[in-house]
Structure 1
Amino acid sequence: MTFVEKQTLIPQAQYAKALRPLLPEEAFAPDFSKLVILFINLTILILGWAIAKHLDRWHLYLLWLYLPLAVVMGNSVIVLLFSSHDLMHGSVIRNSRLSYIIGFIGLIMLWMPPTLWKAVHNRVHHNKTNSLNDPDRNYLSAQPKTWGKWIQNLFVPSNEVNFIGLTVGMATAWGVHTFRNLTSVVLFNCESVNYVPAAFKVSAEERWKIATEFLLIIIIHLSILAYLEFNPLKLVLSYFLPCGIGYAGVMFYIYTNHMLCQMTSVNDPLVNSVSLRVPKLIDKLHLNFSYHTEHHIFPGMNSDYYPLVQKLLEIHYPGCINLLNFADAWRLLMLSPRHYKNEITFTDWIGEKSVICPLSQASKN
């Protein structure tokens, strides 16, 4: 017997209330292993740069041997975000000051001030997921054609994007996303900023903290570049290539998390979020980030238990969760436009096409 037949939007809190008694207490206990994972991947990056320090002594025909390490470093950039993500949701340690310090360290390679992350992700995105007020949603067709909207149109997977734009975008869109939100709150801090999908405000204290944190991040990145002697070879192989790979991996998840879904006025994770089927090894490496619907129901939960949440959703809300193979999710992104014409309809840059969101309630009925 199911809790509900899926006909109307259900608030996130209602799912959490229904499923919480069915989950073990340890699923909500701090998981210190994510802290170990964060520092292991930070160490991988540091070792990679230490090796790269001597690349100018390598023969040219041996430089390809560094490429596998660059790929591993790129994966470490991904894991640093995901482990910091869990940390800042409170599922790793309970000490808020220590979480802030370690979160800052973990987010350095992502150019993301932790105070900004808590505001844009924890506070706004999680409470207003894929609504008009979500900074992470697709742009509306009716929104002004600002530089932010233009860049996203060039970079985001859709039936309009070209290969070059998509390739460049996979490596740089994370930076654009961060830059948009950072400048919106630091320079303006008002809800009328039109180059972001949805502007939001932070307190005066948070605004200063974000600016200070970003300045420190810039200094640390410059220190890394200086350590590598601003050598183009060292920078390309050990800094730009790993960062590009890492940002591309992060953006793959971000694009598939919500961008195929309809907008919702009620925060219903089974409607406005997507979970992916990926190889088991990838789930292990990326801390079950593919279980994104489950995360939106229990954001502060130990991510090791998200598969159990998915099983409970399939039992009590059968056929309701948006669960896709990762390749199918990408294919749907590439076959559809990326601007909202209305809550359940996508359209193109000029607003001529009308495509029902492939994961909307309308398309399923």
Structure 2
Amino acid sequence: MLPPEVFERNPWQLMWLIPHLTIIAASISALLLTNIHWGYRLLLAVAIGHSYGCLMYLAHEILHGTVVKNGTLQNWLSGICMLPYCISPEHWKAWHNRSHHCHTSKTGRDPDSFGDVYMNRKAPFAKFTTKLAPGSGYLRSWFFMGFWFSFHALVTLFVHSKVFEYWKPAQRRKQLALFSAMVAFWAGVGYAVGPYNFAFIYLLPMVVANCVQMFYISTNHLFCDETQEENDPLINSLTVSTPRWVSWLHLNFGYHVEHHVMPYANSKHAPTIQAALKEHFGTRYHEMPLQQALRVLYETPPVHLSRQELVDMRTGIVYSTLGPNGELPQVVDQVAVPVRPRKRVKNRPAAVDVPVTETPPEDGEQNRAA
């Protein structure tokens, strides 16, 4: 159903390096060489951070092989783009290309999933990170967008990569050395420009860059079905729509079902792939405006009770996942707290009217956490 050009590389995307590197260089020069008001400094920090985030989108395309073919060139170009995040090309390919794409929404194996009840009960670190997630009900979750991508890069490098053996020991040492070199680079920048300038050159821009990434990433899978047995993007992924100019600026990153169906097709062709998916699969294809997806994200807990159920670990309120024809998550049940795993269900339960309590039931650990 797709024309041959959908499967061709798009080296013209490298032209995005010019405006973004220019914005970064010009903004940093203005911050260091002038005494402009702190309000303008904030605007420049936002511009720098947005360009950092957009370069990450470009690195994502490069490392999927959709821009240039040569592997060495891919590594150098993407390495420049990902330098603000201190992520090496091989780290990203192991984390994103292999672990996330091959095991999407599979508890434990997908590093971008918050897993199920069993994992959150048995793994203290998973329990800790879940409390940071949107929909967890904790105040700290409202800061999620501004730090999670950078934090999660550390988690995948130091925890997930070791548990699931991304690399052999020598390769792992190499990745840790590359990470240390990138951290040393930014530490050197901070020492050279001073703490005040460093805040506007790097720290505040990275908050913006994290938001640029996480507005999309967090809405693409978290309230979709868990897929332990099969990796079906029509079930575990969601496309989020934005104004056309925003989508163009962000390299069509919101077209996420399309990307998981054909990860090695350049994002330029995502609208063409979308049209074919809609024609072939109809309402099984899931799409939602970004603003609505963000609202649903914060209204829906991140932990799976079963394949098609999500549960609030504090209250026991159970929600459905995104429905097979795009039905929004809703309250379907309530279970006792502390929440325990239950057998996976194949059929989606009917919605029921369950009153949501303001505070969790009496339980020492849960109340302290709340």
Provide the TM-score with structure 1 as the length reference. Answer: 0.83
**Please, which runs of 5 or more residues in structure 1 have no aligned partner?**
1-21, 192-199
Structure 1 match to 2:163: 190
**1:167–1:245 CA distance, 2 compared to 1 (3 A):** farther
Structure 2 match to 1:348: 312
Residue deviations 1:144-200 (CA, integer Å, cap 9, x gap): 4556434433332116132xx2342221111221111111267xx234xxxxxxxx5
Moved over 6 A (4+): none
Mean Cα displacement is larger for which, 333-342 or 37-46? Answer: 37-46
Structure 1 match to 2:204: 241
**Mapped pair 1:116 → 2:79:** no
Amino acid of the residue matched to residue 99 of structure 1? Answer: Q
Which one of 218, 223, 226 corresponds to residue 188 of structure 2? 223
**Mapped pair 1:134 → 2:103:** no
Residue deviations 1:192-220 (CA, integer Å, cap 9, x gap): xxxxxxxx532334312311210121122
Aligned partners of 2:117, 2:97: CA distance in 1, in Å? 26
Amino acid of the residue matched to residue 153 of structure 2? Answer: T
Residue deviations 1:294-339 (CA, integer Å, cap 9, x gap): 0111111111110011111111111111101112211211111111
Amino acid of the residue matched to residue 119 of structure 2? Answer: Q
Give how far 1:340 is off. Answer: 1.1
Aligned partners of 1:190, 1:148: CA distance in 2, in Å? 13
Higher relative contact order (CA 8 A, sep 6+): 1
Structure 2 match to 1:51: 30
Matches within 5 A, 1:61-210: 62-132=37-107, 133-144=109-120, 146=123, 148-158=125-135, 160-162=137-139, 165-184=140-159, 189-191=162-164, 200-210=165-175
Mean Cα displacement is larger for which, 350-359 or 85-94? Answer: 350-359
Give the secondary-structure state (helix, strand or coil) at the position aligned to 1:258. coil
8 Å CA contact 1:41–1:76 kept in 2: the answer is yes
Amino acid of the residue matched to residue 34 of structure 1? Answer: Q
Aligned partners of 1:244, 1:78: CA distance in 2, in Å? 10
Structure 2 match to 1:34: 13
Amino acid of the residue matched to residue 90 of structure 2? Answer: T
| Aligned alpha-carbon RMSD (Å) | 2.1
Aligned partners of 1:185, 1:63: CA distance in 2, in Å? 40
Aligned partners of 1:86, 1:282: CA distance in 2, in Å? 17
**Please, which runs of 5 or more residues in structure 2 have no aligned partner?**
326-346, 351-370
8 Å CA contact 1:115–1:209 kept in 2: the answer is no
8 Å CA contact 1:70–1:237 kept in 2: the answer is yes
Give how far 1:52 is off. Answer: 1.3
Give the secondary-structure state (helix, strand or coil) at the position aligned to 1:38. helix
* Identity over aligned pairs, percent: 26
